[in-house]
Amino acid sequence: MRVPLSWLKDYVEFDDTPGNLAERLTFSGTEVEAVETVGGEYPGLVAAEVLESKPHPHAPGLTVCRVNSGTATLQVVCGAPEVLPGHCYAYAPPGTALPDGTAVATRTLKGIDSHGMLLAEDELGLSPDHSTLLDLGPASPGTPLAEILGPPETVFHLEITPNRPDCLSIIGIAREVAALYGTELRLPGFDLTESARAVEDAVRVSVADPSDCPRYTARVVENVRIRPAPLQMRRRLALCGIRPINNIVDVTNYVLLECGQPLHAFDLELLEGRRLAVRRAGTREAITTLDGEQRDLPAGILTICDDSGPVAVAGVMGGANSQIRSATRTVVIESAFFAPALIRSAARALGLSTESSYRFERGVDPAGVEWASRRAAALIKDLAGGEILRGVLDIYPHPVGPRHVSCRWEAITNLLGVKAGPDEIAGRLAALGLEITERTPRGCTVSVPSRRRDIEREVDLAEEFARLHGLDRIPEPPPRSLVVPDADDTHTRATFALRARLVGLGLREVNNYSLVSPRLLDTFRADDPSSRIILPHPVSHDQSVLRTTLIPQMVVTLGRNHARQAAAHAALFEIGRTFSPGKEEDRLVLGLMGPAGRPPLDRRRAVTIPEMFLWLKGILEALLPANNPSRPWGLSPADIPFLTPGTAMQILVHGQSAGTAGILAPNIAAEWRFAGPVAVAEITLEPLLEDFRRIPSFSPPAQYPAIQRDVAVIVNESVKHEDVLRVIRAAAPKELASVELFDIFKGEAIGSGKKSMAYSLQYRSAQRTLTDEEANAFHAAVIEALRRELAAVVRES
Amino acid sequence: MKAVEIEQRQAAALEEIRAAADERSLDALRAKYLGRKGLVPALMKELKALPPEERPLAGRKANELKVAVQQALTERRRELAEARAHPAAAAASFDYSLPGVWRGTGSRHPISSIIERAVEIFHGLGFTVAEGPDIETEYYNFDALNTPPDHPSRDPQDTFYLSDGRLLRTQTSPVQIRYMEAHPPPVRIVAPGRCYRRDTPDATHSANFHQIEGLYVARGVSMADLKGTLAYFARRMMGPGVRVRFRPHFFPFTEPSVEVDFSCHACGGKGCRICKHSGWIEIAGAGMVDPNVFAAVGYDPDEYSGYAFGMGIERMAMILYGINDIRVFYENDIRFLEQFAQ
Ligand SMILES: [Zn+2]
């Protein structure tokens, strides 16, 4: 909301700079977003009267005028649509400058000399309006513009929180300023002289349901003359962002800005049956609103109707069929209180937010409805002449009185943590217009006017006191520590520790959106499309499904980095949430591309699939270390559509599937044109956190020396490391302390389709030192089993 | 052998030892001089054959030779061992400027860094972490937080609703309700998490973002406690000189409600690009828990009071690291990520 400083000063006295005022408003809850200076000193610019005007002979749209600048009669060419003889406009003579610095000189426009310019509001820096010339109204030619327009105006741009509709007006802000500076609020005085004829004789009013419209008033002014409002009123409207129309409409808008009560003026002669009925729209009703739009009204929307149908959308916008015209003679002034929720849904349904709907949505003051009506009638009579009919039609079946709220001094100071005495608290509340009706040593009761619907409870009074007392006066004691005995956040702490381990392993963390494109999920065929949670109203199709897996976005991330040449190799991870009906699950995803596991001097060689796979597996081994015997895990080949067959693995933890790992399938990798294999793995977070919660139990290191024996087996290439291990472990006695694969060799020397795998075995007894003979016997049993079960050729050492 | 001769032999022996190329030659030299059939035992035997007047001098010289040879052998052995231990270091061809060989450096995402730092600070004050689901009910996200039924934040234009009427939480505040429902007072929690608003993405809006929520409920908690705690947090998070200030505001679930500004860590409050030349940066929304929220979870508002606050993680990261577009957090460009190796 915009508040011109000079207008504010009509209602409240205070002695401070605009900057300080802005600061005090902001720190008492009325946020000043900006302070703007509008207008200027206008050196050399004067009022000029147009003596005659005629169309430019060679340029349609231009007008050639003779103007009286007070000191001379000059010829000026002008592009405005309407230049009326007898009217005074702002005039910049040659040799002067516009407020934006543009120099004004004599120019020739299509062959005709123009000595200076007639100005529109934007050229004067008053508003962005360039549609018409600024009409100065009655002014004597030659009067300096600064004298007519006054000094430059300071305009505050305020942000009003939704709980304070009472601040959506100049008087509302003046009330705050008065409370802040301890001065008096001055409401405008006016004289309401009514004629003998009663309003009841001119118009009839009805409200179908008072809960839709708790208060509706109508007043009538007859014999008005429509003309422009005075310059000052038009300027104030423009400063507040409202376009002046004519004296009647401008008065309704002026009073709206002044006191926050939206008004509407109807031309009584255009009301069929001279009636205004507040009722919900039926089916298939329509109206052309004042903005010229033909609108079908949703059934149930609140309307104002005459005998033929809707003449206004209640609280939102009037209809063209009853609007004030230049021929209007009789005006009905509507001032009402409409149910906020109805106006909000109406404005939303029509996609139309107006100054009126904005205020009705937040709630106007039901007690202020009638004052605004009187104020508008008096102003109309002043500016448009005519007679105000006697009385007002006021349908207000359940008047809203003030509310009484009590508070305890101690409760307020304890809640805020400040020291303040009863007089100080009572004084602050009274300054806000909260009348103290009862006061005891422990507290008080205040009468809350109906405009402050936000004050209902003791804490609300505490807030009122706090914001006037000053939040900067609340002390900052050092934090009090408090241990909550059964608080447990090991899950989060374990997640942090897991992240630290991943970072320590050299992986980089990424963060992707929770919302993904269904097409991307379809590409991977990683989920069951029927169990996706789809947003009915997404912002875009690309972000319309809650992710069911983290892998696709990880691949996109790798692909994007590859395409941007951000990095030739990458090892990335994300810890994120996945969604399925009834379940939210936190998971870890890993993604590798390029020679991520190689030292710097060995990165040019192409990365092979087995190599890439083992890097990925190495990370999993570091995350699921073997030193936790209570959590067995392993990989099991599986059929996974987005992974390369043979590398596609299910991750089993405790024998249950906990995720997938493998090399991205070539057809999917092709979409991102990766240079080599890409490895991905996804695993549920829970088993990974076990290590960080588990308390390890110590077992003493072996006391007796171990005896080492090596064995190399030549086996078919199809034999796996795990097959060899299984045979060794089954054949060896309990004294087998460890088995380590230390070499794999393939070559002509051992024949094609064969490989040699060399293992180092350690034998050790927990009870005594083993003899060579014992170790030899153990080893012989192992060798025999390898020969027998794997058809292996064994080379011992 | 005369004393003079012994001296000459000593000089020759030391020269020979110093020139020894390896351990094996040293062993041979040791045998030659000190061994059972070596020079020193031979000299000792010869002493007896010398005239008595020459014996003392020749004996002293023979002893000197023995000690000198022993020292020379030890010294040369040490030299050879050193050269063997650092052959390349000794060589001019060693290139210490080659790239190091160890696995790459990892990095936390800046959002995680901020969350972890914030949690660590609040941990030190006795706060523990609480979490909640991303998919929430209207009850937890709005109703229980005292949000009126027609409040604009419930508008489907601003909130992602699912077809079953649930929604993607617009704030971390529902965690407050869930936690208080499950735990009697006192409570002292922080709740970091992902939130969603139906915004069109731009430099300051993203379909999802992160918040951290704080809640402290006990007997006698005041707004001064809130201010003191946030002032402590501000100094720990942004730097020792950072101050806080409160501006009155409105939130449905707190009363009184405030917006919290931190003085600009970058310019010390003098005004710069980061603080838009105001010296202050809006960081948090906060206030005293509204009695209606206590009523929703069955706490007695006459016995307990509490404060709550919420801060935007991306916003804090943008301010702290000087980032001006929220979208970079979700683009995951490695050249961005690698700047946060911590
Ligand atoms: Zn700054």
**pLDDT 10s digits, B157-182:** 899 999 999 999 999 999 999 999 99
Q: Contacts of residue A414 in chain B, CB cutoff 8 Å?
A: 220, 222, 305
> How many A from CA of B238 to the centre of ligand 1?
12
Taking the model in full, what pTM does it have? Answer: 0.84
Reported as a single tens digit per residue, the pLDDT across A145-162 is: 888 888 889 999 999 998
Q: Which of B60, B92, B124 is the last residue of a domain?
A: B92
Q: B199 lies in a domain?
A: yes
CB atoms near residue A400 (< 10 Å):
15
Co-location of B74 and B136 in the same domain: no
3-class state of residue A291 by DSSP: coil
- B83 shares its domain with B223: no
| A511/B290 Cβ within 8 A | no
What's the pLDDT score for residue A84?
A: 86
Bond before B186 cis per omega within 30 degrees: yes
Based on the domain organization, do B190 and B289 belong to the same domain?
Answer: yes
Q: Are residues B158 and B64 in the same domain?
A: no
Give the count of beta carbons closer than 10 Å to the beta carbon of residue A100: 10
| Same domain, yes or no: B68 and B140 | no
Q: What distance in angstroms lies between residue B7's CA and the mean position of ligand 1's atoms?
A: 84
How many domains would you assign to chain B?
Answer: 2
Q: Are B168 and B276 members of one domain?
A: yes
B218 touches chain A (CB under 8 A): yes
- Cα A4 to ligand 1 centroid, rounded to whole Å: 30
Classify A596 as helix, strand or coil: coil
pLDDT at A772: 93
Across chain B, mean pLDDT equals 91
Single out the residue in B25, B58, B92 at which a domain terminates. Answer: B92
Q: What confidence score (pLDDT) does residue A688 get?
A: 92
* Residue B313 Cα to ligand 1 middle (Å): 19
Residue B256 to residue A543, Cβ atoms within 8 A: no
Are A303 and A315 spatial neighbours (Cβ–Cβ below 8 Å)? no
Contact assignment for A459 to B256 by CB distance below 8 Å: yes
Tell me the pLDDT band of B91, cut-offs 50, 70 and 90: low
Residues of A within 8 A of B231 (CB-CB) are: 476
Handedness of CA B281, B282, B288, B289 (dihedral sign): negative
B136, B280: one domain: yes
Q: Looking at the partner chain, which of B107, B224, B332 has a beta carbon nearest the beta carbon of A418? A: B224
B115-140 pLDDT, tens digit per residue, is 999 999 999 999 999 999 999 999 99
B271 CA to middle of ligand 1, Å? 4
Q: What is the pLDDT of residue A590?
A: 98
Same domain, B73 and B123: no
Say whether pLDDT at B317 is over 90.
Answer: yes
Interchain CB distance below 8 Å, A499 and B112: yes
Give the integer Cα–Cα distance in Å for A558 and B334. Answer: 9
Residue A590 distance to chain B (closest CA, Å):
13
Backbone torsions φ then ψ of A611, nearest 5 degrees: -60, -50
Is the Cβ pair A482, B246 closer than 8 Å? no
Yes or no: say if A652 and A633 are a contact pair by the CB < 8 Å rule: yes
Residues of A within 8 A of B209 (CB-CB) are none
- Put simply, the answer to whether B128 touches A489 (Cβ < 8 Å) is yes
> Which of B92, B119, B137 represents a domain boundary (last residue)?
B92
- Indicate if B84 and B146 belong to the same structural domain: no
Is B99 among the domain residues? no
Contact between A596 and B104 using a beta-carbon 8 Å cutoff: yes
Q: How far apart are CA B234 and CA A95, in angstroms?
A: 57
Provide the pLDDT for residue A120.
87
User: Which CATH number do you get for residue B142?
Assistant: 3.30.930.10
Decide if A106 contacts A96 (C-beta within 8 A).
Answer: no
Domain assignment present for B273? yes
CB pairs under 8 A between A and B: 225
| Within-domain flag for B102 | no
B85-106 mean pLDDT: 74
What is the DSSP track for A173-206? HHHHHHHHHT--B-PPP----EEEEEGGGT-EEE
Residue A797's pLDDT is what? 56
Cβ separation B189–A457 shorter than 8 A: no
SS3 content of chain B, % helix, strand, coil (to 5): 45, 20, 35
Q: Which domain holds residue B131?
A: 110-340
State the amino acid at position B14 in one-letter form: L
Residue A60 pLDDT: 85
- Give a yes or no: residue B103 inside a domain: no
Task: Report pLDDT for B7.
Answer: 86
pLDDT at B89 over 60: no
* B296, B335: one domain: yes
Q: Collapsing DSSP states into helix, strand and coil, what is residue A282?
A: coil
* Residue A162 touches partner B, C-beta closer than 8 Å: yes
Looking at the structure, do residues B225 and B300 belong to the same domain, yes or no? yes
Which residues in chain A come in under a pLDDT of 50?
Answer: none
Question: Rounded CA gap, B176 and B190, in Å?
Answer: 9
Interface of B with A in 17-36 (CB under 8 A): none
| One-letter amino acid for residue B122 of the chain | F
Dihedral sign, CA of A514, A520, A522, A524?
Answer: negative
The answer to whether residue B88 scores a pLDDT higher than 60 is no
How big is chain A by its Cα radius of gyration, in Å? Answer: 42
User: CA B71 to CA A274: how far, in whole Å?
Assistant: 131
Residues 6+ away with beta carbon under 8 Å from B159: B141, B153, B167, B168, B170, B196, B197, B198
Are B316 and B270 in a shared domain?
Answer: yes
Q: Please report whether residue B100 resides in a domain.
A: no
**Chain B interface includes A548 (CB < 8 A):** no
Query: Does residue B98 form part of some domain?
Result: no
Residues 240-269 of B with CB under 8 A from A: 244-250, 255-258
Q: Is residue B15 part of a domain?
A: yes
